[in-house]
Structures are given as C-alpha cells and as structure tokens.
Structure 1
Amino acid sequence: MCEIKEYKKYTYWLEEKEFYVLEYQLRERGLRLVEAKKAACDPLFKEVEIGFVPLGAWGKNPFCKRPSSWYKASPFADKILVISSFDLKEYHFTPETIIQESDFQPPRLPDREGKLKLIEQESYQKAKPTEWEDIDSEGPELHNQWLKLMGLREVSYEELFITHCANHSNFIEPTYFIIEENGPVPYSIDKTSHICSACLEFFNIIGAPFRKKMVVPCPGAVLFAGMAANRYYEVVRP
C-alpha cells in the first residue's frame, strides 16, 4: 500500500553521557554532528548526514516555543535527540523511530465537528501540557505572522488551532487510522499548512505506543528541513 522512497532518517534519544561518547566516536571517523540551529527539525534535512538537537534548541524558534511544552512534559525531557541518515546499531543504539517517505493517502479526514470530538477526548485533555493551549500568551502579532506565512487569509488562528489540537489528539487516541498486521496506524488529519509541531510525532513524543504512524510534516519541517509539503511520512518504532 505504501511505496517507500529513498528518504530515510533514524532518530535516537540519548542521555548526555551517551551523546558525548557517540560524538567522540564519530569524530574519530571523521564525522561531525550538525547542530540544530533554527528548529528541532533541522537535522531532518535530507542532506544532513547526522545531526543533533541540543537541549536549548527546543522552543528557541518563537513558533515552536509553546509546542515544545510537549517535549518538556515527556519522558524525553533532558535527553539529546540525534537524527541520522544511517543506523547507529554498530554504536549499540536502537532507533526510537525510523522515518521514510510514503505514497500513503488517508481514507477519510474529519470535518470541524470531527476535530472537536478529537479534542474532547479525555486522553488528550489529560495529556496536553498547560502551556500548549495558552495561545493568548503569544499575542496576535505572532499568530498573524504565522497565517501570513501559510498564506491563510480566511481563517483565524483560533480556528486553525482546533486542527492543531485535534491532530495531536488523533495520535494519542486515534479515530482516524488504518489497520495493519501490527495494529492501528494513526495518520495526520490535515495538510501541512493546517497542522503544527509534527516533530512531536516524528520523534515519538506523541504517539509512541503505536508501532507505525503516517505523519504529514508541519510548516517548520518543510521550511527548515526541506521535507515535502502534504506528503505522508511513515514513522516506525522498530
């Protein structure tokens, strides 16, 4: 059903000590870890052979600051994320996720009512960090800048945020999914310009219990990592 393309990334969450050992071992082989500068998704760029996201990079971008509250509330807080184009098994690390392009097409998508039902789910309400839904603290200027960048003229940020929340909720307790041999496979419920912080699904901050997810990159992943807009990426937990 999903034809896998050449794009492939392995992601790893490492303790600080593990990271520095890996960095040394790679340096001995002439490999340099590229540091994420603009956003946590930077090392997802196809041309970056191997990169990392330092602790201070989460929320550094103003558009990513509030969404990074999910990372801070996750089991991965205080860990360093390494994103590689090759498997690090020879260094005795197991990937958290493996990300590849796919030709997946969603069988159905929610309307506004369906999105509101996703947000109302108790599982989402319990999981969401307080900071995540505090959009008022960002101010209208940042929201208007986001809408302008996305080319969205006939929707308010408050309305768009419904989709942001519902999309994450669908990876916590899926309503929109397909069934495969290893269980349900939840998928993103809208196109790139309408979703936010896909890094949370790419890196298993959200949706870790599911062995596979189909994730559309958010605008940041397209702008900063060169990922394909509106294309679904297969995210597998080995």
Structure 2
Amino acid sequence: MSNYRKFCYWTDFRGLEKAKEEFGGRGIPLGGEDRIPCRVLRSSSEAGFVAPQAWNGFCKRRTSWQRKSKMAEKFLFVAGSPLSLPGFENPIVIEESAFVPPRLPTSDEIFALTRSEEYRKRRPAEWDKPDPYEEDFYKRWFGRNRTNESFDFGKMLLSHSANHANFIDPKFFVAIDGAPVPYSISDSIHVCSSCLEFFNILGEGWPLKYVVPCIGAVQFARLPADRYLKVITDRREGTEALF
C-alpha cells in the first residue's frame, strides 16, 4: 500500500469512451468490473471502470444506495493517475492516511445514529433485508478473525447502518479549519459497503472524510483492514487547506 492513490470519476458512456482512449494511448490496459465495484481499487490495477450493473451484483443489497442515487446508471472510472480531459477536472481522490479517530461511539450512540431523519429518508428499502447467505459470510469471517468475541449479526447490522448514517448526518467527526470531517465509526467487520463512501455515493457533501475499508474491500480490493483511507472530494478554490 506504499504511496497508494486512486483518482475516481463518475461519467456517462461517452465520457468513459474518452477515458478509455486516453489510457489506451498510454498503453495502459483497461479492465471492466460488472459484479464487485470495489475491485477497481486494487493497488495492482492501473486503470479500470465499474459498469452500472456491478451495483446489482455480489453486494446487491449492500450497494442498493447507489441504485437510488444520482449516480445510478453512470459509469465509474478509476485510475492510479489523473485524467487530463475536459469534464474530468475534479476527481475523488483516495489516499493512505495515518488518521486515528479521537473516539468511537458507544452502543447507545450507535443506535442514536440510526435514528437520524436524514439517514432514514435516504435509506433504500432493500437495505434492511439481508439475505441468509450474508449472515453465513460474516459469521465465517468473524469465526476466523474474532475468536475471543461472540457473533451477533443484529449488532453488526446496526453498526453498518450507523456508519452510513454518520456520513449522511455526521455526529462523529473532526474539524479541520472549521469544516467537519466525518470518519468511519468502527473497524472493518463492523462497517459495510465502504465503496459508498469511497466513491461519494454517501458523504458526497464533505470535502474530506476518513473511511475504513469494509470486509468486502479487504477481501476483494485487498485494502488494509481497520485502516483509515483519506477521501478527498473537492479541490475547488478555498478548500486547499483541508488537504
């Protein structure tokens, strides 16, 4: 993960073709992802794109937020270097960080986060309907990596919801130059679908945020577990001090 950095762009099909042309001219092969969006974040991938159908793939319920967002039906282009094309001036930039949260929420505070009106208004109907296989997936992972803790799927799902809520209606954040910078409220097993925060589907209003990769991103994108990555979502004039 040394010097890890990704530049991410939402675009339509025409924009994707332009991006493909630019990277093709550099001799960089472009891989498409149509099932697991976070795989484009692998450090080994120089450039790739996520097709709209990927958000209805392996993580269908967990990525249902995307299908309800303004990003629905758009393509996502991700590369290790920036594009120099009109319309691609303001990428979402994902970088390593040494961030350590000042504190994490208590059980009562986790529950309170999920009562946010803004969170409940934006929450897709599918979100609260996990498939049985999901519990098996988390239980197996938990058994291998949390041998000293008992598995509680309901508690885990509540934490997943609270984490998204904190990027929609932040209660746990640091302030940098007076601006709120929200952060993930737990470790990798207790957050979910971190791609939503990485790619600005949730938390799109914050110029800077700190995001812990979920277990899917750890497994499929090979991102470091329990480590915060910096997500820079605005490089317009007046925001430089944040970065």
Deviations 1:106-135 (A, max 9, x none): 001111100000000111111111111122
Moved over 3 A (4+): none
Q: Is the 8 A contact 1:11 1:84 kept in 2?
A: yes
For residue 25 of structure 1, the aligned residue among 19, 22, 25 is 22
Aligned residues of 1:50 and 1:84 also touching (Cα < 8 A): yes
Decide which of 131, 136, 139 is 1:144's aligned counterpart: 136
The match for 1:87 is: 82
Cα deviations by residue, 1:67-92 (Å, 9 ceiling, x for unpaired): 12100001110100011100113465
Q: How many residues align?
A: 230
Unmatched 5+ residue regions in structure 2?
Answer: 236-243
Match of 2:114, SS?
helix
Aligned mate of 1:232, from 220, 225, 228: 228
Q: Considering only aligned residues, what root-mean-square deviation do their CA atoms show, in Å?
A: 1.7
Q: The residue matched to 1:229 in structure 2 has which SS? A: coil
> Does the 8 Å CA contact 1:59/1:67 hold for their aligned counterparts?
no
Find the aligned partners of 1:112 and 1:10 in 2 and give their Cα distance. 35
Task: Say whether 1:10 aligns with 2:24.
Answer: no
Structure 1 residues 42 and 30 mapped into 2: Cα distance closer, same or farther (>3 Å)?
A: same
Cα distance in 2 between the residues matched to 1:210 and 1:183: 8
1:198 corresponding residue in structure 2: 194
Match of 2:97 among 95, 102, 120: 102
Quickly say closer, same or farther: Cα 1:53–1:150, change in 2 above 3 A.
farther
Query: Using a 3 Å threshold, how does the CA distance of structure 1 residues 225 and 95 change in structure 2: closer, same or farther?
Result: farther
Q: Is the 8 A contact 1:38 1:224 kept in 2?
A: no
Once the two structures are superposed, the pairs formed by residues 173-188 of structure 1 within 5 Å of their partners are 173-181=169-177, 183-188=179-184
Q: 1:48-103: per-residue Cα shift (whole Å, max 9, x none)? A: 01111111211311xx1101210000111010001110011346512441000101
The match for 2:56 among 59, 82, 91 is 59
Which segments of 5 or more consecutive residues in structure 1 lack a partner in the other structure?
none
Structure 1, 146-155 or 166-175: larger mean CA deviation: 146-155
After superposition, what is the alpha-carbon deviation per residue over 1:19-43, rounded to whole angstroms, capped at 9, x for unaligned?
A: 1122133223322211225510001
Residues 170-229 of structure 1, C-alpha deviation per residue, up to 9 Å, x if partnerless? Answer: 001111000002610000000011111000000000000000000000011111111111
Residue aligning to 2:42: 45
Counterpart among 157, 160, 165 of residue 161 in structure 2: 165
TM-score, normalised with respect to structure 1: 0.91
Kept in 1, the 8 Å contact 2:163–2:191? The answer is yes
Paired letter, 2:94: I
SS of the residue 2:226 aligns to: coil
Task: Name the CA shift for 1:98/1:205 in 2 (closer, same or farther; >3 Å).
Answer: same
Match 2:32 to one of 32, 35, 50? 35
- 2:66 equivalent in structure 1: 71
**TM value normalised by structure 2:** 0.89
Answer 1 or 2: higher relative contact order, Cα 8 Å, separation at least 6: 1
